[in-house]
């Protein structure tokens, strides 16, 4: 699997959440891209996308004393997952930054 995203300081957290979604949560790469994101980089506040900031995750983090900031989006990722030599899955953001596009043109080398 390969994944990437623009975003400066949020690149690592965006890509890590995408990989964790596929590897640990058994999501398709498209579903992992669509999942809401959080970014905490040892700063004064944890950034949360609206779905998390306005829901139980945000409430729970704040109840534990975390400072949170709601942000419109974190990252703008794309990724490719190789299931086997002839089976590749490509996906891009479905809605962040207006959505994206990704496709496998030819899985053969």
For 26-47, what is each residue's pLDDT tens digit? 999 999 999 999 999 888 899 9
pTM of the model: 0.84
At 48, give phi and psi (nearest 5°).
-130, 140
Residue-wise pLDDT for 41-67, tens only, equals: 888 899 999 999 999 999 999 999 999
Q: How far apart are the first and last CA of the chain?
A: 16
Which residues lie closer than 8 Å to 51 by C-beta, 6 or more apart?
Answer: 36
Residue 105 to residue 96: CA distance in whole angstroms: 24
């Amino acid at each position: 699997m390969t994944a990437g995203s623009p975003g400066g300081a949020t690149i690592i957290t965006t890509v890590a959440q995408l990989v964790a979604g596929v590897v640990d949560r058994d999501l398709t790469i498209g579903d992992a891209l669509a999942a809401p994101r959080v970014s905490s980089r040892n700063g004064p506040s944890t950034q949360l996308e609206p779905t998390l900031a306005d829901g139980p995750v945000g409430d729970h983090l704040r109840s534990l004393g975390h400072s949170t900031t709601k942000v419109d989006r974190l990252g703008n990722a794309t990724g490719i997952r190789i299931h086997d030599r002839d089976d590749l899955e490509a996906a891009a953001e479905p809605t962040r930054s207006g959505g994206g596009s990704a496709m496998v043109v030819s899985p053969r080398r």
